[in-house]
């Protein structure tokens, strides 16, 4: 990409400038990031090592854990280092890289949640055809498709933002190089670029959410028709963890992007961004491990073997 700017670096305003909050926030975010790394890498390795978890549901979960690890690692280490050193400067190329990879992994999170919803739909609504529907080739195509569309959309977002000119202002009112936050400091007309970004992001989010809601509508209708209490509980338990993860992820995005314009501010964006860049990657492995008997069983097996 041609560098159409005289700006060689950006200054990130960060979460807060209060010196009294730097150390407490450093400790809190370091703890969150540690839990995120242990939880997601642990889930990733657990699924790889236990052959009983080599099923479509857990293959998607394995990829989701990898994405959450990368998703958090794109933003959090720089934020933590900033609290400790006070360094808020990021080079133009580093900012572009962070923007691209953050958009990539955010999109991948979105697509994998859709793939997992489809997997749950087939498992609950068409259990007799599950083995012939969710084959290895189908799972592979879904996973490859997620990565292709994730990288493609992230490329569009990044090129859309960095095709603008940056003349004098280089102060980004955010704690990372978010696409919209960077576009705001551009000195060129950004109306068309913002429209492209908003429409593409909205389409990806709401199209994915609609597919997930349709899947769960069929799932809940099918569950209500079940005469067996055991079957009802089993069907419900297979969907609870995924539905919780979906609610947290899309609930945050909807809160951030659908709030009234009168109450919309960069400070509100920062609070929402902290939640979906740091807390969601931490919560996902906890949600899936605490509410999943097979994951608990596999973890116990690995622990007993290591003794």
- Render pLDDT for 66-122 as a digit per residue (tens, 0 to 9): 999 998 999 999 999 988 888 888 999 999 999 999 999 999 999 999 999 999 899
- Render pLDDT for 284-303 as a digit per residue (tens, 0 to 9): 888 776 556 677 677 677 66
Contact 160, 193 (CB under 8 A): yes
pLDDT of residue 234: 65
Question: pTM for the complete prediction?
Answer: 0.86
**Domain locations in the chain?**
9-306
Phi, psi values for residue 10, rounded to 5°: -120, 150
pLDDT of residue 1: 44
SS3 string, 138-201, reads: HHHHHHHHHHHHHHHHHHHHHHHHHCCCCCCCCEECCCCCCHHHHHHCCCCCCHHHHHHHHHHH
Q: What is the mean pLDDT of the chain?
A: 84
Residues with Cβ < 8 Å from 7, sequence gap 6 or more?
Answer: 92, 166, 167, 168, 170
- Render pLDDT for 118-162 as a digit per residue (tens, 0 to 9): 998 998 888 889 999 999 999 999 999 999 999 999 999 999 888
Domain 9-306 belongs in CATH node 1.20.1070.10? yes
pLDDT of residue 284: 82
How many other C-beta atoms lie within 10 A of the C-beta of residue 130?
16
């Amino acid at each position: 990409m041609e560098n159409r700017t005289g700006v060689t670096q950006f200054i990130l305003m960060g979460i807060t400038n209060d010196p009294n909050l730097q150390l407490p926030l450093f400790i809190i975010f370091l703890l969150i990031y540690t839990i995120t790394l242990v939880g997601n890498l642990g889930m990733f390795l657990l699924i790889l090592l236990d052959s009983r978890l080599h099923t479509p549901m857990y293959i998607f979960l394995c990829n989701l854990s990898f994405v959450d690890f990368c998703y958090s690692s794109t933003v959090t280490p720089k934020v933590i280092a900033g609290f400790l050193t006070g360094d808020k400067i990021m080079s133009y190329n580093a900012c572009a890289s962070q923007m691209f990879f953050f958009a990539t992994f955010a999109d991948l999170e979105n697509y994998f949640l859709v793939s997992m919803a489809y997997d749950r739909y087939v498992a609950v609504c068409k259990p007799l055809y599950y083995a012939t529907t969710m084959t290895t080739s189908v799972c592979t195509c879904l996973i490859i498709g997620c990565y292709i569309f994730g990288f493609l959309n992230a490329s569009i977002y990044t090129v859309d933002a960095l095709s603008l000119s940056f003349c004098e202002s280089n102060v980004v009112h955010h704690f990372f190089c978010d696409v919209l936050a960077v576009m705001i400091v551009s000195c060129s007309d950004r109306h068309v670029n913002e429209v492209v970004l908003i429409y593409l992001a909205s389409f990806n989010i709401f199209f994915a959410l609609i597919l997930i809601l349709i899947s769960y509508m069929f799932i809940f209708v099918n569950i209500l028709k079940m005469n067996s209490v055991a079957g009802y509980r089993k069907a419900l338990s297979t969907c609870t963890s995924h539905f919780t993860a979906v609610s947290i992820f899309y609930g945050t995005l909807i809160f951030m992007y659908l709030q009234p314009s009168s109450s919309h501010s960069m400070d509100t964006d920062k609070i929402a961004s902290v939640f979906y860049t740091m807390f969601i990657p931490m919560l996902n492995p906890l949600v899936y491990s605490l509410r999943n008997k097979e994951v608990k069983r596999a973890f116990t097996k690995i622990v007993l073997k290591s003794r």
